[in-house]
């Protein structure tokens, strides 16, 4: 189960660029520590999930950076990693390489793709592959594409205080007529219970 990060407890994220700059500084320090110790203390690993290998740890760390979340579901991470590795046997090395690259150059997430593209980096395709896996739950393209997550894809989690994934009931008849209640308008006690509590609230069709 995902544990809510401090970011999840925020209301609508600020619209200025200050937030990202502040975060970036913190993340730079974080990544330095991660790489120095080869551990991922900030990632929440729930028993009985096996401890990650360094390769899987690098994937988690890079994923965390790319999707802007300190906490990621370990079971989902394992499924995504396995699928990505199946598509590309060099995925582990590429992931570690990109992580080292980011750490060495102290690159902010928002600058990463532009920089990789500008430098014709061999890592240029990697961020989109990883973010697509986490945020849409999809690995692979064309005929090889498959869905590994739907209601637990991060794009569903990010808006779960307001929306249900398509095919899941919003609520009783007419409940959608009321104004939407975001995390900023809901009681604090209802925040951060997703996806587990979300799934329990859902009325299956």
Partner 1 sequence: MADQAADFIVIGSGIMGSLVARRLAESGASVLILEAGPRVTRGELVARFRNSPRRSDWMSPYPPSPWAPHPVYKPQDNGYLVQAGPYPYPAEYIRQVGGTTWHWAAHAWRNVPNDFRIKSLYDVGIDWPFSYDELEPFYQQAEELMGVSGAPNTGSPRAKPFPMEPVAEPFAMRRIRERLAGSFDVVSNTTARNSRSYDGRPPCCGNNSCQPICPIDAQYHGGIAAASAEAAGAKLLPDANVFRLEHDTAGRIVAAHYFDPDKGAHRVTGGTFIVAANGIESPRLMLLSASDKYPAGLANSSDMMGRNLMDHPSTSLTFDAEDALWLGRGPQSPSSINTMRDGTFRPDHAPYRLDFTNISRVDNATRALISAGIYGPEFEKRLRQTAAHEMNVKTVLEVLPHPDRRVTLSDQKDAMGLRKPQVHYAIDDYTRRGSASGKRDFQRIADLMGGTNLRFSKDGDYANNQHICGTMSMGNDPRTSVCDGYGRAHDHENLFFASTGVLPTSGTCNSTENGVAVALRSVHHILGAVAPVAARNAVSL
Shorter beta-carbon distance to partner 1: residue 15 or 37: 15
Instruction: Please report, for the chain, how many H helices and E strands are present, in that order.
Output: 8, 2
Would you count residue 87 as binding partner 1 (CB under 8 A)? no
Which residue is it, tokens 């990463």? Answer: 112
Judged by DSSP in three states, 32 sits in: helix
| 138, β-bridge pairs | 147
Would you count residue 35 as binding partner 1 (CB under 8 A)? no
Which residue is it, tokens 């398509």? Answer: 166
Per-residue contact flags (x/-) with partner 1 for residues 38 to 67, judged by CB under 8 A: ---------------------------xxx
Would you count residue 176 as binding partner 1 (CB under 8 A)? yes
Q: Between the CA of residue 195 and those of 4, 68, 69, what are the distances in Å? A: 10, 17, 15
Q: Which of 111, 198, 99 is nearest to 158 (CA)?
A: 198
Shorter beta-carbon distance to partner 1: residue 120 or 173: 173
Would you count residue 108 as binding partner 1 (CB under 8 A)? yes
Q: Which of 13, 24, 21, 63 is nearest to 42 (CA)?
A: 63
Provide the binding-site residues for partner 1, judged by CB under 8 A: 7, 12-15, 19-20, 23-24, 27, 65-69, 108-110, 112-114, 117, 127-128, 131-132, 135-136, 138, 140-143, 145-147, 150-151, 155-156, 158-159, 162-164, 166-180, 182, 203-205
């Amino acid at each position: 189960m995902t544990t809510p990060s401090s970011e999840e407890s925020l209301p609508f994220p600020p619209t200025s660029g200050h937030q990202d700059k502040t975060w970036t500084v913190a993340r730079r320090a974080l990544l330095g520590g991660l790489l120095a110790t080869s551990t991922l203390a900030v990632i929440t690993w729930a028993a009985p999930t096996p401890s990650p290998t360094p390769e899987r740890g690098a994937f988690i760390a890079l994923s965390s950076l790319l999707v802007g979340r300190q906490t990621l579901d370990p079971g989902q991470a394992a499924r995504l990693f396995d699928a990505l590795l199946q598509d590309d046997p060099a995925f582990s090395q590429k992931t570690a390489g990109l992580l080292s690259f980011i750490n060495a150059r102290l690159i902010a997430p928002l600058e990463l793709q532009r920089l990789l593209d500008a430098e014709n980096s061999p890592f240029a395709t990697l961020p989109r592959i990883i973010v697509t896996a986490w945020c849409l739950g999809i690995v692979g393209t064309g005929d090889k594409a498959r869905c590994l997550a739907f209601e637990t894809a991060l794009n569903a989690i990010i808006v779960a205080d307001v929306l249900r994934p398509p095919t899941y009931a919003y609520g009783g008849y007419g409940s959608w007529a009321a104004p939407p209640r975001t995390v900023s308008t809901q009681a604090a006690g209802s925040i951060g219970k997703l996806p587990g509590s979300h799934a329990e609230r859902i009325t299956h069709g």
